[in-house]
Structure 1
Amino acid sequence: MNVYVARQPILNQSKETVAYELLFRDGLQNSMNYKINGYAATQKILSNSMVAFGIGKLASNKKVFVNFTEQNITNGDVELLPPEMVVIEILENTEPTAPLLAKCKELKDNGYTFALDDFVFEPKYQPFIDLADIVKIDFLITNTAEEREKIRYIIPQHIKLLAEKVETQQEYTQALSFGYELFQGYFFCKPVIISEKTARVDITAQFMLMREMNSAHVDINRIEDIIKNDLSLIHKLLKYINSPYIGIPNEVRNLRQAIALLGINGVRNWVNLVCIRDLSSEKPNELFVILLIRAKFCELAAENIPAKNSEKDTAFLIGMLSLSDVVLDQPIEKVIDELGLAPEIKAALLFRQNDLGQLLNMVTDYEHGDWEKVKNWCHENNFSEELLASLYNEVIHWATKMNEDINGSIQ
């Protein structure tokens, strides 16, 4: 049985990823299949996910937040996961019954951590508050500054507040000022647009390299000349290609050899990876991880569509550039024009009109756990749902290791 899972990052006050919430399904059809018992589905998902994915690898060895039904908790299914790994999320519609509270107290004594999901205060939930380590506040529901600030006075100070569905930098800053300690949402994916970014030498060089590498006719000698004139780029390229994960059998000792072994597509991927990493260095590292996942997921999906196999490198590029506006705090139209991208890449990034744009839509739908839309894409493209789930698992592992390698290569 395949396990479908997406993950959403949870960040701390320094915008560092400290955990992931895992969104499970046991099939894409489950988004509309109301005959499936929630308890049985969660039980099956937990046991299978431990085998199919390895939750530690899926969450990059960080904690995981997982929703549990009352029955999953009282029957002991939570204990399939070790206490140091999991945060038990109690859903907002769960009643604090005596059997549930007794089991929660037992789990708490055994070291488990509890979070209250989509919390709205009612006196009857006080026993849950007494157990909680974390309370999640939905910023779409609690949507005024007064309500968001009031929560901090209602909830005891030793309980951490997690602001979820935080969509803008302004909301993040507001939550921070009110004493929230954890954050979930896409606020780091919403750019603060400024009229003009001051051009620093490194940004100019990075853009020059990206423009040359992504042009219709790549001049490899020109690429070599640009890299030669920047000692840091030489260091990064040699460290990257000598990384065990890249898989080059012999140690590479010079720039020409590195370029020849990687080939044009390999150099293009390296350029886009390193430049995006450098240009987003002031952003949360999770932004770069999301771009890695998008790029590789786009590439592998395109590779497994016969009509799109030849466009897999373009698909990788589209995923990598999909948040260029956020990376550079510039309108994406301006970024795309400056990079001189081909018309079909522009159409995919700006309007999601062509097949590659729809592929990018599917990847972002997968990020959000919008399984019905993902299922529709699979149907329209005659794509195996089981294969897609397997590819996502592969992508998560690849992105985790690549993030380590790229960050290592730029230090």
Structure 2
Amino acid sequence: QARTARPCRCVAPSLPTRLSQLMQGDELTRQVFLGRQAIFDVDRKVVAYELLYRMSAAAGDALTDNEDRTSHVMIDALMSIGLDRLVAGQRAFLNMDTASLLAELPLTLPPQRVVIEVLETVAPEPKVLAALRHLRDRGYRIALDDVVYQPALDPLLELAHIAKVDLPAIAAGQLADQVNALRRFNVELLAEKIETEAQFDQTRELGFTLFQGYWLARPSTVSGKRGLMRREDVLSLLARLQDPSLQTSELQALVSNNPGLSHRLLRYINSAMFYLPRRIDSIRQAVVLIGQRQIRQIASLLLLDGGETPPLELVRLTLLRARMCEQLAARVKLDADAAFTVGLLSTAEMLVDQPLTQILADMPLSEATVQAICTHHGPLGQILAAVTHYETGNFDHPALVALAELDLTARYLEAVEFVESIMAASRG
């Protein structure tokens, strides 16, 4: 029997041991909260939800100003809690201030799933109107918030699909006049802040078709957890994403080398928002499907998030595992991109401090990928098993022995060099 080459036992640290040490005293995630308030039709059936920022689980604990509200809601709705969980198959109304519109943040969202709600603080400036026309051309529906008609609103009303009429701001005897003024525009009328049955009946008789307010339903609060990211890392990523000559292969590498962004991107693109015929299992597929522009927008959202990443050493170890899985898969003619993803997600439980099965179910991934990560089943699962047993020094494990001819020590050292070069570049 041929003698099996054994890798050097002094090279690889124990990943589980290091992760256990890193977890002690380190806050890797934070609890996040979103409010949602139902919007009803004339038959009092729910047809949409407005998503609202919440600082805590208290239903009325909303942010007192607009600063960062849009970015927080979008991050949490798309990548932490999940839009599907928040609104199921209904549309989501998302508030947008001037800065969010000019930054084109809505373009990260599928137009068939959202309504862009323009806050009352947004002035009809030429740049704002151009942004709204672009959104309309892309298929987005636009609503104006807290409308009390005045001629200055005409440019916005000409672009809107829905006018949310602010009932408390209008005297009861003037509501009919407001409706008549708004009928000059091709907008659907939504009565907001309905607090009595009499208001519901009155607005319905005046031709309103959408309704929202405490009498119908108070906002509820939904919570989830968000993995944290350092702004420095996101800035470094954004700097490269701004390059118009960036090639798809380099874009794929940039995303793959950022575990936090990779996790969010896969979860986002596999959500029911996109109605994809099959699930996306690799960063390469996600990058090709979603494109550089939307990835840049998602990274911009993460920059606006104010949190911190998991410890840098945890990110390093995650990338190291993913890179080694990728290399081994390539040498045995398996899908290297999928292998990188399997390695990347195998530490997700530590990255986001949730049960691994829950994280994978929320993304979701194909059953083969889930089994590779959770049970080391299948060819990619055996690659992952070999890497994890190499990390712990269990060199006699069958999965590792089967790949011994690939010179695992050399593969590990190459992965270390690769990850260290990435870390150095991000610090530069």
TM beyond 0.5: no
TM-score (norm 2): 0.41
Which is helix-richer, 1 or 2? 1
TM-score (norm 1): 0.43
Q: For the pair shown, which has the larger CA radius of gyration, 1 or 2?
A: 2
